[in-house]
Amino acid sequence: DVLMTQTPLSLSVTPGQPASISCRSSQSLLHSDGKTFLSWYLQRPGQPPHLLIYEVSKRFSGVPDRFGGSGSGTDFTLKISRVEAEDVGIYYCMQNIHFPRTFGPGTTVDFK
Amino acid sequence: EVHLLESGGGLVQPGGSLRLACVASGFTFVDYAMDWVRQPPGKGLEWVSTISYRGEDYAGSVQGRFTISRDNSKNTVYLQMNSLRADDTAVYYCAKGLTLLDSWGQGILVTVSS
């Protein structure tokens, strides 16, 4: 199985300041079609997860442009340019190329 | 607007069975893969199963005990869960997609306990 790791596991941020989460996979997520199937999800308290980023860097419909994804192969990063109140929650990366699908352990983001 | 609504959860004894259903609306159901993802209380997300053009795929922890299926005439995906164990206790989410999970249901709680 592909192991997904995230750092840090917890992040306290100041509103308006940037934040960054790293995700690493134990195998390459690059498909033979040239696409890389790494996605990011946010789970706000008491809510189901929702999709933020797919294929490493593509923002899903309605996702604010303060969210950005980057990376390749096995190393990926989610960046929030200026954290807002609605960004508090747990962020998960997920690989969508190999079965079984696997999630990272989650990074909890809250305010200082 | 995509809408996914799970049902069928509840309390079941160890060794028992339960069938979850997820009714979908707002998109052409037959064209999309569907998934089940679960979240044990206070823990992270765990992918359970996907039904797609590939057929059915399962997590190792549920292989041989759970069966995913779909009825395209009813826009519904199912998860038949047999031989349930305490560590199957979780909120079960229905989700849409194969290379990304772009829509999620609100989730349904399954509790396995005597």
Name the minimum distance, in Å, from the CA of B104 to any CA of chain A.
7
> Looking at residue A107, what is its pLDDT?
98
Of A81, A84, A82, which is closest to residue A69 (Cα–Cα)? Answer: A81
The alpha carbon of residue B47 is apart from the nearest alpha carbon of chain A, in Å, by: 6
Question: If you average pLDDT over residues A89-111, what whole number do you get?
Answer: 97
pLDDT tens digits along B2-46: 999 999 999 999 999 999 999 999 999 999 999 999 999 999 999
Cβ–Cβ gap A55/B100 under 8 Å: yes
Region B70-86: mean pLDDT is 98
Which chain B residues touch A if contact means CB-CB below 8 Å?
A: 35, 37, 44-47, 50, 57-60, 93, 98-107
Length of chain B, in residues: 114
Residue A112 has pLDDT above 90, yes or no: no
From chain B, pick out residues whose CB is under 8 angstroms from the CB of A60: 100, 102
Distance from the Cα of B1 to chain A's closest Cα (Å) equals 12
Q: How much is the average pLDDT of B93-97? A: 97
| B44:A92 CB<8 A | yes
Dihedral angle, C-alpha B31, A99, A104, B25, nearest 10 °: 20
Q: Is the peptide bond before A100 cis (omega within 30 degrees of 0)?
A: yes
Determine, for residues B100 and A92 on separate chains, whether the beta-carbon distance falls below 8 Å. Answer: no
Residues of chain B with Cβ-Cβ distance to A90 below 8 Å are 44
Single out the residue of B67, B49, B46, B66 nearest to residue B58, CA to CA: B49
Are the Cβ atoms of B60 and A1 closer than 8 angstroms?
A: yes
Average pLDDT, chain B: 98
| Confidence at B62, pLDDT banded by 50, 70, 90 | very high
If you average pLDDT over residues A80-84, what whole number do you get?
A: 97
Contact check, Cβ <8 Å, A35/B99:
yes
What are A2-6's contacts with CB under 8 Å, separation 24+? A2/A26, A2/A27, A2/A29, A2/A95, A2/A98, A2/A102, A3/A102, A4/A93, A4/A94, A4/A95, A4/A102, A4/A103, A4/A104, A4/A105, A5/A104, A5/A105, A6/A91, A6/A92, A6/A93, A6/A104, A6/A105, A6/A106, A6/A107
Give A53's contacts (C-beta < 8 A, 6+ positions apart).
Answer: A39, A40, A59, A60, A63, A67, A68, A69, A78
